[in-house]
Structure 1
Amino acid sequence: MLDPRLLRAFSTIVDAGSFTLAADRLHMTQSTISQQLARLEETVGSMLVDRAARPVEPTLAGERLLGYARRILALQQEAEAALRDPAGTTSIRIGVPEDIVSAAMAKVFNDFAQRHRGTQLDVTAGLSRDLTRRYRAGDFDIAVVKEPEAEPDSRATFPETMAWFESADAPARWPNPIPLVTFPPGGLYREAMFERIEGEELRWYIAFSGSSLHNVLVAVEAGLGLSLLPRSATASYRVRQYAPFGIGPAMAVSIYSWESAGPVSELVERMGAVLAASRMAA
């Protein structure tokens, strides 16, 4: 392995064109810098500079090594700078449902990252039941989940108004069986939809199953079927409430965190403020 100190001595001698000037630039004696060059030449097995030339010039072997030496020294400087910069040296892992990552929530994340440059925010979007399981398993430091009822250890919980939606261009009457647009098995609203339809003594079938809220809303917007959705998530889509079924049972949007102090607690508080404001607006 080539010692960066020896490479620096070599490149400085070539740049300065003089052992004396190079020694001054590196704040060492001329004998020391001469010894360092000699050690490097011994390591590579070649003379690297023409000592008789004025100014000092690299030999052919020195010219070949010089580019590599400068790249190695630049990488070393870059690595040292990266290690001195605390940005991203710790991580806060956050699990959230897809529709929670709004512009307001993203701004909370950005503001927090600007104030805490040593912290990297690792945000995962997913279905609430999977997020809950992973939070309990220790995969997340903070989790926002939608659930029928908040658990006792939630940091805060907010009501989520649910309603049935159809395309803005939907027909006056839906056929029987009724086509439904749902999340995959395990999705939080899926069973509630089936129970309501069967309670009306109607038949149903799955017309579309989407793994993201956006996909489900696009399918409803296109007229593929009915779906039970958070009212707060539908504003930018061409959908309308399906009057015969109306409002569904409210869900709880709950926020959990393992820590109750420090930066994590600060982030939880700001996330909770965004959740509260968005639910009030809905």
Structure 2
Amino acid sequence: MNSPLFDLDLLRAFVVVADCQGFTAAAARLHSTQSTVSQKVLRLEDLAGHRLFERSHRQVRLTEAGEQLIGYARRMLALNAEAQELLSGASVAAALRLGLPEDFAAGRTTRMLADFARAHGDVKLEVTSGLSRDLRALYERGELDVVVVKQRRSTGDAVKRWAETLCWIDSAAYPTLDAEPLPLVVFPPRGLYRDDMVAALEAGGRRWRISYTSSSLASIQAAVADGLGVSLLPSRVVNDRHRIVKPKDGLPAIETMEIALHHRPEASPLVIALASDLAKLIGEGG
């Protein structure tokens, strides 16, 4: 059995009559005639299978069925208006989806992105920050248009690539470099630099243990600064609470990573423009 579909035009007439408490005032608000508004309400009553108004010479009141329907009618009209508003902007606002590692999603990068958004007012820029492995997965599923990731040097295709300068860091105030086994502050398994740190230490015969794990760059930086262990991070995120560990301190240099910029060959001019701005920024030091 097919259920009746309520026409939004009939529902609008019903709501306005209820708000105006009469057909004459409702007709004026709807820029229509009283007979047309009355016919619309009658058609809605026929669809609903109930009288929706108690009519008298002096006033119009909702019946019990009308009271039940009025809330739904208002919601349906509001949803229709919301959908119209959303779709009215869809034709002019192109979505451009960008993925960035956490250490790029601040400072000069966000200023550049804000400038780009202002220069392209018809673009809806959507920026996702996270671990490179997650960003790469989103890109491969088609959920990102442009992505900057960390990857092993010379692995996979990339529009542009740059060497990633890494350094071991310790706390400036509470150093742990001499502790045995050496405490490590790391990203989660399969996270960046973790395997490289472990492999380098084991190759050098240095005992180690995981003291702190986090997927947040800010948390990693704070844990090192507060003396929970050493870590391996890009040189650009070192701050004055850290001490860079020198090769003479016994930890080997690690030069295995690169920064890679990806977008699809068939990318739109807007994607290529954003990628060009990102490449310039990264080339100047991120």
Give yes or no for TM over 0.5. Answer: yes
Question: Does residue 276 of the first structure (1) align with residue 280 of the second (2)?
Answer: no
Q: Distance in 2 between matches of 1:71 and 1:149?
A: 55
CA deviations over 1:28-82 (Å, ceiling 9, x no partner) = 444322221221233334444455423x422544762445444433333233222
Q: CA RMSD in A?
A: 3.5
Counterpart for residue 253 of structure 1: 259
Question: CA distance change for structure 1 residues 4 and 194 in 2, over 3 Å: closer, same or farther?
Answer: closer
Q: 1:263 aligns with which of 251, 270, 274?
A: 270
Which residues in structure 2 correspond to 1:65-76 (within 5 Å)? Answer: 65-76=69-80
Counterpart for residue 145 of structure 2: 141
Q: Distance in 2 between matches of 1:14 and 1:81?
A: 25
Question: Does residue 123 of the first structure (1) align with residue 103 of the second (2)?
Answer: no
My pick for the range that moved more, 262-271 or 172-181, is 172-181
Q: Distance in 2 between matches of 1:129 and 1:18?
A: 63
Q: Distance in 1 between matches of 2:182 and 2:14?
A: 80
- Letter of the aligned partner of 1:31 in structure 2? S
Question: CA distance change for structure 1 residues 219 and 88 in 2, over 3 Å: closer, same or farther?
Answer: farther
My pick for the range that moved more, 128-137 or 163-172, is 128-137
Counterpart for residue 39 of structure 2: 35
TM-score, structure 1 normalization: 0.77
My pick for the range that moved more, 226-235 or 22-31, is 22-31
SS of aligned partner of 2:270: helix
Q: Distance in 2 between matches of 1:19 and 1:178?
A: 83
SS of aligned partner of 1:193: helix
SS of aligned partner of 1:208: strand
TM-score, structure 2 normalization: 0.76
CA deviations over 1:103-157 (Å, ceiling 9, x no partner) = 332344445455355535251411x355446645655432212234245742223
Counterpart for residue 241 of structure 1: 244
What are the ranges of 5 or more consecutive residues in structure 1 without an aligned counterpart? none
SS of aligned partner of 1:85: helix
What are the ranges of 5 or more consecutive residues in structure 2 without an aligned counterpart? none
Question: CA distance change for structure 1 residues 41 and 197 in 2, over 3 Å: closer, same or farther?
Answer: closer
SS of aligned partner of 1:95: strand
Question: Does residue 182 of the first structure (1) align with residue 186 of the second (2)?
Answer: yes
SS of aligned partner of 1:225: coil
Counterpart for residue 196 of structure 2: 192
SS of aligned partner of 2:227: coil
SS of aligned partner of 1:121: strand
Is the Cα contact below 8 Å between 2:176 and 2:182 reproduced in 1? no
My pick for the range that moved more, 160-169 or 190-199, is 190-199
- Letter of the aligned partner of 1:234 in structure 2? V
Q: Distance in 2 between matches of 1:25 and 1:216?
A: 62
SS of aligned partner of 2:190: coil
Counterpart for residue 12 of structure 1: 16
- Letter of the aligned partner of 2:261 in structure 1? I
Question: CA distance change for structure 1 residues 45 and 222 in 2, over 3 Å: closer, same or farther?
Answer: same
SS of aligned partner of 1:278: coil
Q: Distance in 1 between matches of 2:218 and 2:139?
A: 24
Counterpart for residue 162 of structure 2: 158
